[in-house]
């Protein structure tokens, strides 16, 4: 990835993320302004609406990552918890020009990973305990490079903002996962694979990882990764899309970001 191209993509994604985070603020501004205007105080309504909207925007922008992490029941991990992953992340960050992200763990036997944040300075890298226990260093490097590519390109920002806004609506709006996938960008995971193997210079490592993740255990029936609001909403933001209720259709073969499609592509790279 050329540095200029990466900077342009990152800037574009941060602008999109700010716009997404502003949506609730715009709604609040409109409601407050209309109410106070109807009460005969249009100027006060505009000022109060703008102030309330700004507060809501800042709350969403600053708190989106924490909200999604809490929704996933993720716990902060240190080097003692993930010694191998920490060493690999340090090396990859040095190669990719990134600062070390915060590391988090979701206790689940399913094998998966996720990156969240407003940008590289606030990135959070989430691993399931099943992934940390199952993959060898070569395969793990492929997964970590994949997720750090999302950090580098800053596509974690619009993905995180949209997920945070839609998780509370998932109970009433069944299509939140598809909507987040659309906002994040169809082909996002496929592209991250391409950039990741350019960093590791070893496509078989990521291919092995994806195969292990697909063939590994499904999330426990009572797991937050199995059908919960946060799972349905963030489904396509994980390295391998979380399964839906019908496990047989959880990986759509005609979807560019589906694991089977990406595995087949890695065989050709």
**pTM of the predicted model, to two decimals?**
0.92
Least confident of 16-25, 53-62, 218-227: 218-227
Residue 172 per-residue DSSP state: T
Kind plus residue range of the DSSP H or E element containing 87? helix 83-96
For strands 124-128 and 102-106, give the pairing: parallel
C-alpha distances in angstroms, 234 versus 94, 177, 202, 224, 254? 28, 6, 28, 11, 20
Is the per-residue pLDDT at 132 higher than 70? yes
Are 216 and 111 a contacting pair, CB within 8 Å?
yes
**Cα maximum dimension of the chain:** 68
Which among 18, 46, 47 has a CA at the least distance from the CA of 34? 46
Q: How far apart are CA 98 and CA 103, in angstroms?
A: 14
Name the phi and psi angles at 105, rounded to 5: -130, 135
Q: What is the pLDDT of residues 178-216, one digit of tens each?
A: 999 999 999 999 999 999 999 999 999 999 999 999 999
Q: How confident is the model at residue 7 (pLDDT cuts 50, 70, 90)?
A: confident
* CB neighbour burial string for 182-205, b if at least 16 within 10 angstroms, e if fewer: ebbbeebbbbbbbbbbebbebbeb
Mean local confidence (pLDDT), 96-114: 96
Q: How far apart are CA 111 and CA 234, in angstroms?
A: 15
C-alpha distances in angstroms, 159 versus 62, 86, 121, 141, 185? 14, 24, 16, 23, 9
Q: How far apart are CA 51 and CA 2, in angstroms?
A: 40
The pLDDT value recorded for residue 223 is 86
Q: What is the pLDDT of residues 153-182, one digit of tens each?
A: 999 999 999 999 999 999 888 889 999 999
Is the per-residue pLDDT at 140 higher than 90? yes
Is the per-residue pLDDT at 4 higher than 60? no
Q: How far apart are CA 265 and CA 213, in angstroms?
A: 16
Kind plus residue range of the DSSP H or E element containing 176? helix 176-184
C-beta atoms surrounding 34 within 10 Å = 13
The pLDDT value recorded for residue 2 is 55
Q: How confident is the model at residue 222 (pLDDT cuts 50, 70, 90)?
A: confident
Are 52 and 29 a contacting pair, CB within 8 Å?
yes
The pLDDT value recorded for residue 198 is 95
Q: How far apart are CA 93 and CA 82, in angstroms?
A: 16
Is the per-residue pLDDT at 15 higher than 70? yes
The pLDDT value recorded for residue 173 is 87
Is the per-residue pLDDT at 52 higher than 70? yes
Q: How confident is the model at residue 226 (pLDDT cuts 50, 70, 90)?
A: confident
Mean local confidence (pLDDT), 75-91: 94
Domains of the chain listed by start with CATH number: 74-268 (3.30.2010.10)
Which among 182, 193, 194, 154 has a CA at the least distance from the CA of 12? 154
The pLDDT value recorded for residue 249 is 41
DSSP letters spanning 11-54: HHHHHHHHHHHHHHHHHHHHHHHHHHHHTT-HHHHHHHHHHHHH
The pLDDT value recorded for residue 177 is 93
């Amino acid at each position: 990835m050329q540095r200029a191209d990466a900077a342009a993509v990152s800037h574009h994604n941060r602008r999109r993320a700010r716009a997404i985070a502003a949506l609730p603020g715009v709604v609040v501004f409109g409601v407050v302004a209309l109410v106070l205007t109807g009460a005969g105080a249009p100027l006060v309504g505009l000022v109060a609406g703008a102030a309330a909207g700004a507060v809501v925007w800042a709350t969403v922008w600053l708190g989106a990552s924490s909200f999604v992490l809490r929704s996933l029941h993720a716990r902060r991990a240190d080097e003692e918890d993930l010694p191998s992953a920490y060493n690999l992340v340090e090396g990859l960050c040095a190669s990719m020009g990134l600062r070390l992200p915060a590391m988090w763990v979701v206790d689940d036997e399913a094998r998966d990973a996720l990156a969240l944040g407003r940008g590289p300075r606030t990135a959070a890298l989430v691993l399931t305990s099943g992934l940390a226990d199952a993959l060898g260093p070569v395969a793990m490097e492929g997964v970590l490079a994949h997720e750090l590519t999302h950090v580098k390109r800053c596509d974690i920002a619009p993905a995180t903002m949209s997920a945070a806004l839609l998780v509370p609506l998932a109970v009433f709006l069944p299509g939140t996962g598809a909507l987040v996938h659309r906002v994040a960008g169809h082909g996002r995971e496929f592209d991250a694979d391409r950039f990741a193997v350019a960093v590791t210079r070893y496509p078989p490592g990521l291919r092995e990882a994806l195969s292990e993740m697909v063939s590994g255990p499904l999330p426990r029936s009572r797991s937050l990764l199995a059908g919960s609001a946060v799972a349905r909403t963030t489904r396509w933001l994980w390295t391998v899309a979380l399964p839906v209720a019908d496990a047989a259709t959880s990986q759509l073969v005609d979807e560019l970001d589906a694991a089977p499609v990406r595995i087949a592509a890695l065989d050709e790279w």
